[in-house]
Protein backbone atom coordinates (compact mmCIF):
# COMPACT_ATOMS: atom_id res chain seq x y z
CA UNK A 1 0.00 0.00 0.00
CA UNK A 2 0.96 3.62 -0.53
CA UNK A 3 -0.07 6.45 1.77
CA UNK A 4 0.24 10.22 1.74
CA UNK A 5 -0.94 13.04 3.98
CA UNK A 6 -2.60 16.13 2.54
CA UNK A 7 -1.80 19.31 4.39
CA UNK A 8 -4.78 20.96 6.08
CA UNK A 9 -5.33 23.03 9.21
CA UNK A 10 -4.88 20.05 11.53
CA UNK A 11 -1.70 18.87 13.24
CA UNK A 12 -1.67 15.45 11.57
CA UNK A 13 -3.14 16.26 8.14
CA UNK A 14 -5.58 14.15 6.13
CA UNK A 15 -4.68 10.57 5.24
CA UNK A 16 -5.12 9.42 1.65
CA UNK A 17 -4.46 6.07 0.04
CA UNK A 18 -2.52 6.51 -3.21
CA UNK A 19 -2.58 4.24 -6.25
CA UNK A 20 0.42 2.12 -7.17
CA UNK A 21 1.24 4.43 -10.09
CA UNK A 22 0.85 7.49 -7.81
CA UNK A 23 -1.72 9.05 -10.13
CA UNK A 24 -4.91 8.72 -8.06
CA UNK A 25 -5.81 8.98 -4.40
CA UNK A 26 -8.77 8.51 -2.11
CA UNK A 27 -9.46 9.80 1.40
CA UNK A 28 -10.47 7.21 3.98
CA UNK A 29 -11.85 9.17 6.97
CA UNK A 30 -14.21 6.30 7.80
CA UNK A 31 -11.15 4.08 8.33
CA UNK A 32 -8.54 6.49 9.74
CA UNK A 33 -8.42 10.28 9.63
CA UNK A 34 -4.60 10.42 9.76
CA UNK A 35 -1.66 8.13 9.17
CA UNK A 36 -0.66 8.36 12.83
CA UNK A 37 -4.12 7.15 13.81
CA UNK A 38 -3.86 4.29 11.32
CA UNK A 39 -0.49 3.21 12.72
CA UNK A 40 -1.80 3.28 16.26
CA UNK A 41 -4.75 1.03 15.25
CA UNK A 42 -2.95 -0.96 12.54
CA UNK A 43 -4.45 -4.36 13.30
CA UNK A 44 -7.97 -2.93 13.06
CA UNK A 45 -7.47 -0.82 9.92
CA UNK A 46 -5.03 -2.81 7.78
CA UNK A 47 -7.72 -4.86 6.02
CA UNK A 48 -10.03 -1.94 5.10
CA UNK A 49 -7.03 0.12 3.99
CA UNK A 50 -5.91 -2.74 1.75
CA UNK A 51 -9.43 -2.98 0.33
CA UNK A 52 -9.39 0.73 -0.51
CA UNK A 53 -5.97 0.37 -2.13
CA UNK A 54 -7.09 -2.60 -4.24
CA UNK A 55 -10.25 -0.79 -5.36
CA UNK A 56 -8.27 2.34 -6.19
CA UNK A 57 -5.84 0.35 -8.36
CA UNK A 58 -8.77 -1.37 -10.05
CA UNK A 59 -10.32 1.98 -10.90
CA UNK A 60 -13.64 1.26 -9.19
CA UNK A 61 -13.76 4.18 -6.73
CA UNK A 62 -15.91 7.07 -7.95
CA UNK A 63 -14.60 9.30 -5.14
CA UNK A 64 -10.96 8.99 -6.27
CA UNK A 65 -9.16 12.15 -7.34
CA UNK A 66 -5.88 13.13 -8.99
CA UNK A 67 -2.95 12.87 -6.61
CA UNK A 68 -0.87 16.04 -6.26
CA UNK A 69 2.45 15.65 -4.38
CA UNK A 70 2.64 19.44 -4.03
CA UNK A 71 -0.41 19.32 -1.73
CA UNK A 72 1.32 16.89 0.62
CA UNK A 73 2.73 17.37 4.05
CA UNK A 74 5.22 14.78 5.30
CA UNK A 75 3.47 11.38 5.51
CA UNK A 76 3.67 11.88 9.27
CA UNK A 77 3.69 15.66 9.91
CA UNK A 78 4.68 14.79 13.47
CA UNK A 79 5.74 11.56 15.14
CA UNK A 80 6.01 10.19 18.68
CA UNK A 81 9.76 9.89 18.13
CA UNK A 82 12.39 10.43 15.42
CA UNK A 83 15.64 8.52 15.80
CA UNK A 84 18.41 8.70 13.23
CA UNK A 85 21.23 6.21 12.96
CA UNK A 86 24.52 6.21 11.11
CA UNK A 87 24.27 2.80 9.50
CA UNK A 88 26.59 3.50 6.55
CA UNK A 89 29.99 3.26 8.21
CA UNK A 90 31.77 4.77 5.21
CA UNK A 91 29.95 8.03 5.85
CA UNK A 92 30.72 7.97 9.57
CA UNK A 93 34.40 7.39 9.00
CA UNK A 94 34.57 10.23 6.49
CA UNK A 95 32.75 12.55 8.89
CA UNK A 96 35.22 11.74 11.66
CA UNK A 97 37.97 12.89 9.31
CA UNK A 98 36.00 15.99 8.31
CA UNK A 99 35.41 17.13 11.89
CA UNK A 100 38.75 15.97 13.28
CA UNK A 101 36.97 13.67 15.74
CA UNK A 102 38.60 10.58 17.26
CA UNK A 103 37.09 7.24 16.19
CA UNK A 104 33.92 6.40 18.08
CA UNK A 105 34.43 3.36 20.35
CA UNK A 106 32.80 0.17 19.02
CA UNK A 107 31.70 2.04 15.89
CA UNK A 108 31.82 -1.16 13.81
CA UNK A 109 29.69 -3.19 16.23
CA UNK A 110 27.27 -0.82 18.04
CA UNK A 111 25.03 1.50 15.97
CA UNK A 112 25.38 5.24 16.44
CA UNK A 113 22.05 7.06 16.84
CA UNK A 114 20.68 10.43 17.91
CA UNK A 115 17.19 11.56 18.88
CA UNK A 116 15.93 14.41 16.70
CA UNK A 117 12.95 16.75 16.85
CA UNK A 118 9.75 15.06 15.69
CA UNK A 119 7.12 17.76 16.12
CA UNK A 120 7.48 19.65 12.83
CA UNK A 121 8.45 17.58 9.79
CA UNK A 122 8.55 19.20 6.35
CA UNK A 123 6.64 18.06 3.28
CA UNK A 124 8.34 17.09 0.00
CA UNK A 125 8.13 20.48 -1.75
CA UNK A 126 8.04 22.85 1.22
CA UNK A 127 10.59 25.65 1.28
CA UNK A 128 13.20 25.25 4.00
CA UNK A 129 13.54 28.48 6.02
CA UNK A 130 16.85 28.79 7.84
CA UNK A 131 18.44 31.66 9.77
CA UNK A 132 21.88 32.02 8.18
CA UNK A 133 23.99 30.77 5.29
CA UNK A 134 26.96 30.91 7.67
CA UNK A 135 25.56 27.89 9.54
CA UNK A 136 26.74 25.53 6.79
CA UNK A 137 23.45 24.43 5.18
CA UNK A 138 23.54 20.82 4.01
CA UNK A 139 21.10 18.17 2.80
CA UNK A 140 21.34 14.50 3.77
CA UNK A 141 19.57 11.82 1.75
CA UNK A 142 18.38 8.83 3.77
CA UNK A 143 15.89 5.98 3.95
CA UNK A 144 13.78 5.21 7.01
CA UNK A 145 11.20 2.93 8.57
CA UNK A 146 8.01 3.65 10.50
CA UNK A 147 7.14 1.08 13.14
CA UNK A 148 4.26 -0.30 15.10
CA UNK A 149 4.88 -1.05 18.78
CA UNK A 150 8.38 -2.44 19.39
CA UNK A 151 8.84 -4.17 22.76
CA UNK A 152 11.80 -3.33 24.97
CA UNK A 153 14.80 -5.62 24.39
CA UNK A 154 13.41 -6.94 21.09
CA UNK A 155 15.89 -8.93 19.01
CA UNK A 156 16.76 -7.57 15.55
CA UNK A 157 14.44 -10.13 13.94
CA UNK A 158 11.59 -9.28 16.31
CA UNK A 159 12.13 -5.55 15.79
CA UNK A 160 12.22 -5.89 12.02
CA UNK A 161 8.83 -7.63 12.13
CA UNK A 162 7.42 -4.41 13.65
CA UNK A 163 8.18 -2.32 10.54
CA UNK A 164 4.96 -1.03 9.01
CA UNK A 165 6.11 1.52 6.42
CA UNK A 166 9.20 2.65 4.52
CA UNK A 167 10.03 6.30 3.80
CA UNK A 168 12.57 8.52 2.02
CA UNK A 169 14.15 11.34 4.03
CA UNK A 170 16.11 14.57 3.68
CA UNK A 171 17.67 15.11 7.09
CA UNK A 172 18.70 18.76 6.89
CA UNK A 173 21.91 19.68 8.73
CA UNK A 174 23.75 22.85 9.73
CA UNK A 175 27.39 21.80 9.62
CA UNK A 176 28.96 24.81 11.31
CA UNK A 177 26.92 24.09 14.44
CA UNK A 178 27.51 20.33 14.54
CA UNK A 179 31.07 20.02 15.90
CA UNK A 180 30.41 21.93 19.12
CA UNK A 181 27.26 19.94 19.84
CA UNK A 182 29.08 16.65 19.21
CA UNK A 183 31.90 17.65 21.56
CA UNK A 184 29.35 18.57 24.24
CA UNK A 185 28.20 14.94 24.27
CA UNK A 186 24.47 15.64 24.45
CA UNK A 187 23.68 15.09 20.77
CA UNK A 188 22.41 17.42 18.06
CA UNK A 189 19.97 20.26 18.68
CA UNK A 190 20.55 23.47 16.71
CA UNK A 191 22.51 21.58 14.05
CA UNK A 192 19.44 19.61 13.02
CA UNK A 193 16.51 21.72 11.74
CA UNK A 194 13.22 20.15 10.66
CA UNK A 195 13.57 16.94 8.67
CA UNK A 196 11.78 16.54 5.30
CA UNK A 197 10.11 13.50 3.76
CA UNK A 198 9.12 12.33 0.27
CA UNK A 199 5.34 12.35 -0.23
CA UNK A 200 4.66 8.61 -0.05
CA UNK A 201 5.08 6.13 2.79
CA UNK A 202 4.76 2.55 1.54
CA UNK A 203 4.35 -0.91 2.96
CA UNK A 204 7.47 -3.08 2.49
CA UNK A 205 5.78 -5.35 -0.07
CA UNK A 206 5.75 -2.42 -2.54
CA UNK A 207 9.52 -2.86 -2.93
CA UNK A 208 9.43 -6.59 -3.73
CA UNK A 209 12.90 -8.08 -3.35
CA UNK A 210 14.41 -4.60 -3.06
CA UNK A 211 13.39 -4.85 0.61
CA UNK A 212 15.50 -7.64 2.10
CA UNK A 213 17.85 -8.16 5.03
CA UNK A 214 16.34 -5.09 6.66
CA UNK A 215 17.72 -2.86 3.90
CA UNK A 216 16.29 -0.86 1.00
CA UNK A 217 18.18 -1.98 -2.09
CA UNK A 218 17.50 1.21 -4.03
CA UNK A 219 19.64 4.01 -5.38
CA UNK A 220 19.04 7.49 -4.00
CA UNK A 221 19.48 9.96 -6.84
CA UNK A 222 20.44 13.42 -5.58
CA UNK A 223 20.62 16.63 -7.61
CA UNK A 224 21.76 20.05 -6.38
CA UNK A 225 20.57 23.00 -8.46
CA UNK A 226 19.76 20.60 -11.28
CA UNK A 227 23.21 18.98 -11.37
CA UNK A 228 23.95 15.38 -10.52
CA UNK A 229 25.39 15.04 -7.01
CA UNK A 230 25.26 11.28 -6.42
CA UNK A 231 23.25 8.11 -6.49
CA UNK A 232 24.54 5.93 -3.63
CA UNK A 233 22.90 2.55 -3.06
CA UNK A 234 20.97 1.71 0.10
CA UNK A 235 22.02 -1.92 0.07
CA UNK A 236 25.45 -0.99 1.45
CA UNK A 237 24.12 -0.41 4.98
CA UNK A 238 26.44 -1.97 7.53
CA UNK A 239 23.64 -2.18 10.12
CA UNK A 240 20.20 -3.20 8.84
CA UNK A 241 17.02 -1.69 10.22
CA UNK A 242 16.52 -4.72 12.47
CA UNK A 243 19.79 -3.89 14.24
CA UNK A 244 18.96 -0.17 14.39
CA UNK A 245 15.53 -0.82 15.90
CA UNK A 246 16.86 -3.33 18.42
CA UNK A 247 19.48 -0.79 19.47
CA UNK A 248 16.84 1.91 19.94
CA UNK A 249 14.59 -0.43 21.92
CA UNK A 250 17.26 -1.99 24.13
CA UNK A 251 16.12 -0.18 27.30
CA UNK A 252 12.68 1.17 26.33
CA UNK A 253 9.77 0.27 24.11
CA UNK A 254 8.98 2.19 20.93
CA UNK A 255 5.40 3.26 20.29
CA UNK A 256 3.48 3.08 17.01
CA UNK A 257 4.48 5.82 14.59
CA UNK A 258 8.12 6.14 15.66
CA UNK A 259 10.50 6.74 12.75
CA UNK A 260 14.07 5.43 12.51
CA UNK A 261 16.41 6.71 9.81
CA UNK A 262 19.36 5.01 8.18
CA UNK A 263 21.67 7.98 8.28
CA UNK A 264 23.16 9.41 5.10
CA UNK A 265 23.27 6.84 2.30
CA UNK A 266 26.95 6.39 1.49
CA UNK A 267 28.97 4.01 -0.68
CA UNK A 268 32.67 3.17 -0.56
CA UNK A 269 32.98 3.68 -4.32
CA UNK A 270 33.70 7.31 -5.19
CA UNK A 271 31.82 6.77 -8.47
CA UNK A 272 28.51 6.66 -6.59
CA UNK A 273 28.86 10.28 -5.54
CA UNK A 274 27.39 11.44 -2.26
CA UNK A 275 24.05 12.19 -0.61
CA UNK A 276 25.33 15.16 1.41
CA UNK A 277 27.72 18.05 0.83
CA UNK A 278 29.86 17.40 3.90
CA UNK A 279 30.85 13.99 2.54
CA UNK A 280 31.84 15.45 -0.83
CA UNK A 281 33.92 18.11 0.93
CA UNK A 282 35.94 15.64 2.96
CA UNK A 283 36.46 13.42 -0.11
CA UNK A 284 37.81 16.49 -1.94
CA UNK A 285 40.18 17.15 0.93
CA UNK A 286 41.39 13.53 0.97
CA UNK A 287 41.65 13.01 -2.79
CA UNK A 288 42.57 16.51 -4.01
CA UNK A 289 44.17 18.12 -0.98
CA UNK A 290 41.63 20.93 -0.66
CA UNK A 291 37.90 21.53 -0.20
CA UNK A 292 36.32 22.99 -3.33
CA UNK A 293 32.59 22.73 -2.66
CA UNK A 294 30.75 25.23 -0.48
CA UNK A 295 27.52 24.65 1.39
CA UNK A 296 24.07 25.71 0.20
CA UNK A 297 23.01 29.31 -0.33
CA UNK A 298 19.54 30.81 -0.07
CA UNK A 299 17.70 30.06 -3.33
CA UNK A 300 19.47 26.72 -3.88
CA UNK A 301 17.38 23.61 -4.57
CA UNK A 302 17.91 19.94 -3.82
CA UNK A 303 16.04 17.06 -5.47
CA UNK A 304 16.02 13.46 -4.26
CA UNK A 305 14.34 10.40 -5.75
CA UNK A 306 14.95 6.72 -5.14
CA UNK A 307 15.18 4.30 -8.04
CA UNK A 308 15.21 0.53 -8.44
CA UNK A 309 18.32 -1.19 -9.78
CA UNK A 310 16.65 -1.59 -13.19
CA UNK A 311 16.14 2.16 -13.44
CA UNK A 312 12.45 2.31 -12.54
CA UNK A 313 11.47 5.21 -10.25
CA UNK A 314 11.24 4.22 -6.61
CA UNK A 315 7.95 4.16 -4.72
CA UNK A 316 8.30 7.30 -2.58
CA UNK A 317 7.99 10.13 -5.07
CA UNK A 318 10.28 13.15 -5.13
CA UNK A 319 11.71 15.54 -2.55
CA UNK A 320 12.27 18.89 -4.27
CA UNK A 321 13.01 21.76 -1.89
CA UNK A 322 14.41 25.28 -1.92
CA UNK A 323 16.38 26.85 0.92
CA UNK A 324 15.17 30.34 1.87
CA UNK A 325 16.03 32.94 4.50
CA UNK A 326 13.83 32.63 7.57
CA UNK A 327 11.77 35.72 8.30
The DSSP output letter for 247 is H
The three-class DSSP label of residue 46 is helix
Least Cα distance to 320 among 170, 216, 129 occurs for 170
Dist CA 90 CA 112 (whole Å): 13
Q: What mean pLDDT value characterizes the chain?
A: 95
Model confidence over 245-269: pLDDT tens digits? 999 999 999 999 999 999 999 999 9
What is the torsional sign of CA 323, 231, 241, 279?
A: negative
Asked if 158 and 232 touch (Cβ cutoff 8 Å), the reply is no
- Domains in the chain and their CATH numbers? 2-71 (no CATH), 82-325 (3.90.850.10)
| 283, pLDDT greater than 90 | yes
Please return the burial class of 156, using the count of CB atoms within 10 Å of its CB with bins 0-12, 13-18 and 19+: middle
pTM equals 0.96
Please provide residue 324's backbone torsions phi and psi, each rounded to the nearest 5 degrees.
Answer: -130, 160
- pLDDT above 70 covers what percent of the chain? 99
Model confidence over 182-240: pLDDT tens digits? 777 788 888 899 999 999 999 999 999 999 999 999 999 999 999 999 999 999 999 99
Dist CA 40 CA 129 (whole Å): 31
Amino acid sequence: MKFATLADDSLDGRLVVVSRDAQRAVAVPHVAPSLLDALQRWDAVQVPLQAAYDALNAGTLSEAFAFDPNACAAPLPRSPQWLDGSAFLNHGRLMDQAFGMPPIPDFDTIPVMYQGASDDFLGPTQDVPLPSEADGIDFEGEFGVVVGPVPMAATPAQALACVRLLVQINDWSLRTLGPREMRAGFGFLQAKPSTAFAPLAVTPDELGDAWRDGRLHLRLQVQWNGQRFGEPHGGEMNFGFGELLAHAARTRRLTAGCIVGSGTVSNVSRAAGSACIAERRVIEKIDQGEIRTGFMRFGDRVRMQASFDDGRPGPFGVIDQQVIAAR
